[in-house]
Amino acid sequence: MSPSAMVPDPTFTVTPMNKSPKEKYNYGATVTGLDLNDISDADVRHLSDAIWTHKVVLVKGQKDLAPIKQWELVTRFDPNSPQVHSHGDLKTFNSKGGLLSKAREVVGIPGAENVRLIGKGFQGEDHYGIKNKTITKPLSHDWHYKELPQEEFDAGNVRFQRWHMDAPLYGRDPAWFTTLRCIKRPTEPQVNIRWDDESGLSMKAEPGLTAFFSNVQMYEMMTEDEKKMADHSWVEYAPHPYMWIGDCKGNSNGLGLVSQGKEKKLEELGDFDPKEVKTYPMVWVNPVTGEKAFHVHGICARKLFLRSSLAEEPRVIDDVVEIRKLLKTIQERVLKPEYILIPTMDEGDIIMWANYQVFHTAIDYPESYGPRTMHQANIASSAGPVGPNPIPSAA
């Protein structure tokens, strides 16, 4: 039974997102008639169920949302969680964030420091107490192994930056949901998103948006033998995983790493607690719908434990080249334009997604298009992912 089954009906409206006949993604919804500055406990539960059900939810009309109210909403989704951003406070993020903190500039909103300002360019003379801030290090595709020539980028040719879930993968469990509020972004001209992986694939979108694909659809594309393997297998992630891959480069389509042997040795990561190293199932079960998602953050995976039944002794893969090759064959099936959702966000809209069901990515754009200002918040979950079958206690 879902958490909202015994509470009053929702006061807001949920409408599935429109799509063209060519588009094959099967998730996404728009919410209207809701004021997040003043949302009841019952509507918080209904909104939570809507996110789990639709995976990506766009809540319209939140121009007046106070940053602290965004953070309060995040904590009300998961009141039993430690009351801090899933990547920790800014000091922890900047010291242990590795690839994440090196690749971008992140600022906490004064009075609501767990709400993070992310964006590009000049943020205004006074943005909620942040004075005359210019973000010169936005999320970009600079970390891709194959360079995108500057003149092509300036002409509006871009890439998916890095497909991922929001997850520390060490010490804390991933957030159930991430919330991202659009304060300001350019709306034209469109960018041309290129895969640049010899597939010839591309798609167009407005600038300053976030792209998604569903790992539930990915699971549905797997063969029965692959599903059986995934249902019984698990992943061990590296300690301080983003430090571990801090010197690595990504593929041009934004999914996965180029294997160059640049992962750090464990002794180079500094102190870490083996008990805080995360081991998760390959398949994560949606607690509301029961759907299965093939949910493996391949860039941080250090070991795979593969088996196709509870009785089978797992085969351990600890060669990252082999790990990435196996994941690539499964994950790239859904990485096609028709399965990718890029919701249009108006200023004041806030998008929320089920972090246990989808991957997402930023999409950079030429600086000449104008500034981008977003408020992002999530919280480490009080209960981590659950798979179809238990992971052995000795794992």
pTM of the model: 0.93
pLDDT digits (tens, 9 = 90+) for 147-168: 999 999 999 999 999 999 999 9
pLDDT digits (tens, 9 = 90+) for 26-85: 999 999 999 999 999 999 999 999 999 999 999 999 999 999 999 999 999 999 998 776
Q: Which of 384, 355, 390, 96 is nearest to 238 (CA)?
A: 96
pLDDT value, residue 107: 87
Q: Does the pLDDT of residue 100 top 80, yes or no? A: no
Q: Which of 74, 56, 26 is nearest to 354 (CA)?
A: 56
CA gap 222, 228 in Å, rounded: 10
Q: Does the pLDDT of residue 9 top 90, yes or no? A: yes
Residue 90's H or E segment, with its range, is helix 90-96
CA gap 311, 371 in Å, rounded: 55
Helices of type H across the chain: 41-54, 67-77, 90-96, 99-103, 150-154, 215-220, 224-232, 241-244, 320-331
CA gap 141, 337 in Å, rounded: 19
pLDDT digits (tens, 9 = 90+) for 310-339: 999 999 999 999 999 999 999 999 999 999
| Residue 171, both tokens | 């010490």
Q: Which of 333, 359, 332 is nearest to 214 (CA)?
A: 359
Residue pair 367/120 in contact by the 8 Å Cβ criterion: yes
Residue pair 259/249 in contact by the 8 Å Cβ criterion: no
pLDDT value, residue 96: 53
pLDDT digits (tens, 9 = 90+) for 131-144: 999 998 766 788 89
Average pLDDT over residues 356-366: 97
pLDDT value, residue 1: 41
CA gap 309, 257 in Å, rounded: 29
Work out the burial of residue 157: count CB atoms within 10 Å of its CB; fewer than 13 is exposed, 13-18 middle, 19 or more buried. Answer: middle
pLDDT digits (tens, 9 = 90+) for 229-274: 999 999 999 999 999 999 999 999 999 999 999 999 999 999 999 9
Q: Which of 236, 201, 220 is nearest to 314 (CA)?
A: 236
pLDDT value, residue 88: 65
